Amino acid sequence: MKLTRRRSFDDLRRAYEHLARIDILEGALYGPAFCDVSALAALALNELKSGRTREAADLLCAAEHISFAAQAPGSYASAIGISDELRSAIQAEFENLLRRADLFRKELSSPRHDVVPEVCARTLQMAQEAYAEELFSRALELARAADLLAEIAVRSFAAEPESIAS
């Protein structure tokens, strides 16, 4: 019980920290990134009201990744040059995140988070586009968000009592 209680407090703290950073970053967002971050933040606030602090913290973490991706400049990374070793490490991480997101997306998703699969799919597409353009920082942030969103959808489906009975 003590561990669960502590986890809940840690998740509540995480949610608060992510929400504070999103509050700072959101002012510079526009278009689909603004809409996705706003939708995820609204979902997270509902999760907080329902006492699901882990879900809220993870939704806000994904929103934060999307926020950073939207503002990631492409010029700094290209200015320093990317060694073959770094390129390999980036590629391995990117492929791992996409693989995990795809595995989770093949599972059922929760009706409680109806917007999450849509945001996840859009985020995956944008990650692949950014990677193809060699905007690696943006691609990795988006891939991390998609991975987390896919995991949230699967985890929340498993927690839905009515979905287990079906």
139 pLDDT above the threshold of 90: yes
Q: Read off the pTM.
A: 0.84
Mean pLDDT, the chain, whole residue set: 84
The CA-atom distances, in angstroms, between 8 and each of 15, 67, 89, 150, 155 are 10, 25, 34, 21, 16
Q: Which residue has the higher pLDDT, 5 or 70?
A: 70
114-148 residues labelled b (16+ CB within 10 A) or e (exposed): eebbebbebbbebbbebbeeebbbbbbbbbbbbbb
Q: Which residue has the higher pLDDT, 164 or 44?
A: 44
Continuous H helices in the chain? 2-25, 31-49, 53-71, 75-80, 84-105, 116-132, 136-159, 161-165
User: Taking the domains of the chain in order of start, what are their residue ranges?
Assistant: 2-165
Ranked by mean pLDDT, the top range of 27-31, 71-75, 143-147 is 143-147
| Region 82-101 average pLDDT | 92
Q: Which two tokens stand for residue 13?
A: 């703290």
